Amino acid sequence: METFFGKHKMLVLFMLAYWSVCLAMLFKSLDFLYAVLSWNVLLAILPLFFISQATETIRQKKISWSVFWILLWLFFYPNSVYLVTDFIHIANEKFRWMAGTGPYAPDAGMVYSHDILIWTKLLVIAMGFFYAAVVGLESFYVFEQLVRKKYSKNIGYVSILSVSLLTGIGVYIGRFLRFNSWDIAFNPLQVLQQVAEVDRFAVQFSIAFSGFVLFCYLLYRSFKGK
């Protein structure tokens, strides 16, 4: 753990700074969403911690512990991209509207809100998503490198596709079925029962979100490759 905090000290500081912003917004707006955002960001950094532990145990040749940490990483990784769905919380905010009494009114036109709270809400959600996505994609990259080193480049590509698909399914389970990552361990039968009742939308959403994860990772990976 000391190694993780030593290596990723700035990421932890950024998370604490984000918590401070959310706390200030919570007191200002009395919107519990900011407490949820803080929690989601904490969940988002856990995959990086888990994969770091996996890397360390692999180096120490502790196979059983390595499997344990990698499974934890896989179960919690969807939390890193889940925050993009938090943008639904601005759906009811009125950012703009048309002014004027009719289509030919001389003063008709688009008017943008001057309510700083709703614009700040948008920015805070965006900050949380960007932070979570970056730390999550870094953990994904570390995982791929472990697979490539242990097996081969082709298996690495298969792992990218597999994790992207599982992440899409995981986000659907979290957003729509309202399960948490730890429910896979503590309520596996209930999770499987709910997943078994999927409909057409569930499949469409999972595939679409898997494509989103794959796109983000390949973009991030292209920069890491340089």
Domain ranges of the chain: 2-225
What is the percentage of the chain residues whose pLDDT exceeds 70?
94
d(CA 168, CA 202): 10
Nearest alpha-carbon partner for 123 in 152, 81, 95: 95
CB of 64 closer than 8 Å to CB of 106: no
Which residue from 44, 42, 45, 64 is spatially nearest to 54, judged by alpha carbons? Answer: 64
pLDDT tens per residue, range 80-116: 999 999 999 998 888 888 776 555 555 557 788 888 9
Mean pLDDT of the chain: 89
pLDDT of residue 3: 76
> Is 180 or 104 the better-scoring residue by pLDDT?
180
Between residues 218 and 109, the one the model is more confident about: 218
d(CA 190, CA 184): 9
**Hey, which residues does 111 pair with through a beta bridge?**
97
pLDDT for the residue 123: 97
Place of tokens 């145990």: 57
* 222 contacts 165 by C-beta, under 8 angstroms: no
For residue 63, CA distances in Å to 27, 57, 67, 68, 162 come to: 47, 7, 6, 9, 22
The whole-number pLDDT of residue 67 equals 93
Rounded to 5 degrees, φ, ψ at 99 are: -95, 155
d(CA 34, CA 131): 15
Note whether 214 and 164 are within 8 A (CB). yes
